[in-house]
Amino acid sequence: MKKNTQSFLIASILLFLFACGKKEEKRIEKKIIIKESNLIDLTYTFDSTTLYWPNNVCGFEHKEDFNGTAPGGYYYSSYSICTPEHGGTHIDAPIHFAEGGLTVESIPLSSLSGRGIIVDVSEKALKNRDYLVTVADLQEWEKANGEIKTGTIILFRTGYGQFYPDREKYFGSALKGEAAIPLLHFPGISPEAATWLVKTKKAKAVGLDTPSMDYGQSKDFMTHRILLGANIPGFENVANLDKLPLKGFEIIALPMKIGGGSGAPLRIAASVMEELDELEK
């Protein structure tokens, strides 16, 4: 009987140790998910190459006020800048096309930051310089990627960002002045799609990689009127949209806070969340 008892105890101990070993093995193999933010700049540098609407009388000016050794013996530099509101990577405030709409400094920060998505129409737009984003494009995105949630920042990738700052390839004409405006050819957002974003999705903001939310041949700027009329700001000449995934990122878009401004230079960036697997320690 004593021998049987000892055998039972030994077997129990071995079984316990084996089970602990299995648990330890499972613990080591278990993975945890860590989310890491990768910041991507979506802004073109403001300099002598910055593109403005053809009839702007001036472009970006960066004047040197002082650059050298100050009377006190230390290095010092200071410059003055001058720029139209609408040019380069910039924001369209609602008042740009909506009387009584929000001016730049009164746009709430909540409208300038939040979840973003990319709607990629580049394959169609690069084949047709006058392409208009349709409601069908947005619905196709939803079929492939899930419903666009209320309050999302919608960015459209047309592929025309690759041409910036080549005026002729980007605008469709190298000319400047009023005579150039009828010659503009670049993609935009259709008024129907703009209405759908306002009524169906209540988008926070809309942006794209072209000079305007309306396409180059627009005469009535109806897309601007619809979106800005709903106090939805627009981001134009947005850079590096080809570096973003279709979803899974946050946007922060901070314009120069110009009092009474209809637009302003914009610094916009995306925070892309990447999932990394690591062994539990």
Task: Using CA atoms of 164, 258, 103, 213 in order, give the dihedral in degrees to the nearest 10.
Answer: 0
Summary mean pLDDT of the chain: 90
Helix, strand, coil % in the chain, rounded to nearest 5: 30, 30, 40
Report helix, strand or coil for 189. Answer: strand
Q: What is the pLDDT averaged over residues 94-122?
A: 98
Portion of the chain with pLDDT greater than 90, in percent: 83
Contacts of 220 (CB under 8 A, 6+ apart): none
Write out pLDDT tens, residues 177-192.
999 999 999 999 999 9
Residue 273: its pLDDT value, please? 82
Residue 24: its pLDDT value, please? 46
Residue 37: its pLDDT value, please? 74
Distance from C-alpha of 187 to C-alpha of 124, rounded to nearest angstrom:
10
Distance from C-alpha of 23 to C-alpha of 1, rounded to nearest angstrom:
33
Domain ranges of the chain: 36-48+85-279
Sign of CA dihedral 236, 240, 241, 244: negative
What topology does CATH give the domain 36-48+85-279? Answer: Glucose Oxidase; domain 1 (3.50.30)
Distance from C-alpha of 102 to C-alpha of 99, rounded to nearest angstrom:
9
